[in-house]
Chains A and B, each alone.
Chain A
Amino acid sequence: MDSYNAPESTPSASSRPEDYFIGATPLQKRLESVRKQSSFIPTPPRRKIPQCSQLQEDVDPQKVAFLLHKQWTLYSLTPLYKFSYSNLKEYSRHLNAFIVAEKQKGLAVEVGEDFNIKVIFSTLLGMKGTQRDPEAFLVQGLILSPRLEYSGTILVDCNLCLLGSSDPSTLAFQVAGTTGACHHTRILSKSQLPSENREDKVLWTGWFCCIFGDSLLETVSEDFTCLPLFLANGAESNTAIIGTWFQKTFDCYFSPLAINAFNLSWMAAMWTACKMDHYVATTEFLWSVPCSPQSLDISFAIHPEDAKALWDSVHKTPGEVTQEEVDLFMDCLYSHFHRHFKIHLSATRLVRVSTSVASAHTDGKIKILCHKYLIGVLAYLTELAIFQIE
């Protein structure tokens, strides 16, 4: 999150090799200042208010509509090694096999209802900030509902397969029809029909994206694909299984992204600054007061137009948000609350921020409500993810 300007010490003479640090990432700048033993006092960051114009180019609002109004858990992901967008079908099959194997692990012979989980990889077009950003892709786990006439036969065949094989990881490939009796292939060809008779319930969704990830893209080599932000919706156990597969296949690392109170207040300011035609939700803040025996929660709800009016009175530079403006905005809210209730909200911890654009919780949960500012919200989250990776 520290997109700082150059350090206060004057730039070095042009003959030294440190010159290439001029365009360096924040981490490199910090390391450089440690080496020079100068004191690195960064100037406070300025960020752009999310503009709604960035999304319009090639994204159909219908296609990304399923991303809105869902609670996503955030993870940061290190770059993926040797990932290629053309092998998505193969990755689907491998992941399918892995999930089936994981679910069967340690279980006695049993026909589980998860046996017909299907995993689909697909790319999400247009979810990028600049042309350099890699394409976002989506992983969905669906439960296939088989047609009723065949369900009995499927069960019996699967049972036979289980007893016969000793290696669980090849199990799914056997069922997939490479070997086996002829009735196997018949069932599978039926299930590949277009899905008018079938309702696939989406069990789990996860998507990887990178918005304005220039600072990370510069530092990694060609073999790596940088998609630092991962959002997951669905059961935690499924997230863990799929995460393990990615970690094994692409040598990457997931870690949960927590949002601290400092970043939440930035989000509150940036999202209040967004111009909206109509407001769908009130602007609400939630603070947690650590007191014994149990913590107290303070919730402060503001009419969104009042919040916007307050922001407009604080805001000076058009198109940009500075640290002072964020602090002033939050201080106004704190002093207003103090005047009425004599409680210092600044001594408590901001836990949740929710506006008409999006809502975020400190545990790393986010819900995006407005498709116009989707890219803007994701850009800030990508920044946080990149900061965590570094």
Chain B
Amino acid sequence: MSVLRPLDKLPGLNTATILLVGTEDALLQQLADSMLKEDCASELKVHLAKSLPLPSSVNRPRIDLIVFVVNLHSKYSLQNTEESLRHVDASFFLGKVCFLATGAGRESHCSIHRHTVVKLAHTYQSPLLYCDLEAGLQWCNHGSLQTRAPGLK
């Protein structure tokens, strides 16, 4: 019952909801803030979570996109992501899941090899985007649920 399913609820009118899952609250908050600043055709809602499963007590709208934020500097965030992936229904992976790897720029601080994350994204057939949340946000269009290109850089 704690598995997240894509078609559980009815879609809201002209709204999109994104769920960001990651261990570092500050980074997620930063990412959410700049996402909301962007100009968007429909109404955008961003939910933040440390890990899945989400508590069932809260009434929330249907999730349209899940973004798993993996910090390449900490193995803990990778382990957390792997744990959370178990609570996502398989039909979500048909284009509604995205992986975001941060911290690849500072090679000397990396404790996870890049290929580990590439393999993870490849296993789940979902796009992988690299970004650097510390230097400045590079945000891509949130509406791009279309192509699946493994290993984007």
Contact = CB atoms under 8 A, between A and B. Distances in A.
Interface of A: 2, 39, 41-42, 258-262, 265, 330, 334, 344, 346-350, 362
B108 A362 contact: yes
B113 interface: yes
Contacts of B74: 346-349
B118 A262 contact: no
A325 to B, nearest CB: 15
A265 to B, nearest CB: 7
7 contacts: A39-B151, A41-B119, A260-B108, A262-B111, A262-B112, A346-B75, A347-B74
A69 to B, nearest CB: 26
Contacts of B33: none
A41 B151 CA distance: 10
A350 B111 contact: yes
Contacts of B150: 39
Contact of A349 (B23, B73, B115): B73
B122 A258 contact: no
Interface string B107-127: 111111101001100100000
B104 to A, nearest CB: 11
B111 A260 contact: yes
A344 B77 CA distance: 10
Nearest to B74: A347
A261 B111 contact: yes
- Determine the main DSSP class of B at the interface with A: helix
A65 to B, nearest CB: 31
A260 B110 contact: yes
A69 B52 CA distance: 49
Interface residues of B, number: 20
A2 B114 CA distance: 11
B139 interface: no
B109 A260 contact: yes
Contacts of A258: 107-108
A210 B109 CA distance: 26
A41 B125 CA distance: 13
A262 B76 contact: no
A334 B110 CA distance: 17
Given A41-B115, A41-B119, A42-B115, A262 B77 contact: no
Interface string B73-113: 11111010000000000000000000000000001111111
B23 A347 contact: yes
Contacts of A349: 73-74, 109, 111
A372 to B, nearest CB: 29
A22 B1 CA distance: 50
Residue among A260, A330, A334 with the highest chain B CB neighbour number at 10 A = A260
Contacts of B115: 2, 41-42
Nearest to A334: B75
A262 B110 contact: yes
The 5 A-B pairs of least Cβ separation, nearest first, read A261-B111, A347-B76, A346-B76, A346-B75, A258-B108
A262 B112 CA distance: 6
Contacts of B111: 260-262, 265, 346, 349-350
Nearest to A363: B108
Contacts of A39: 122, 150-151
A262 B117 CA distance: 14
Contact of A261 (B79, B110, B118, B151): B110
Contacts of B113: 262
Nearest to B110: A260
A344 B76 contact: yes
A308 B3 CA distance: 41
A344 B119 CA distance: 24
B109 A261 contact: yes
A347 B77 contact: yes
Contact of A346 (B79, B107, B108): B79
Contacts of B151: 39
A347 B81 CA distance: 13
Contacts of A261: 73, 109-111
Nearest to A265: B111
B118 A41 contact: yes
A308 B118 CA distance: 32
B111 to A, nearest CB: 4
Given A260-B108, A347-B76, A362-B108, 9 more contacts: A39-B150, A42-B115, A260-B109, A261-B110, A262-B110, A262-B113, A265-B111, A334-B75, A347-B74
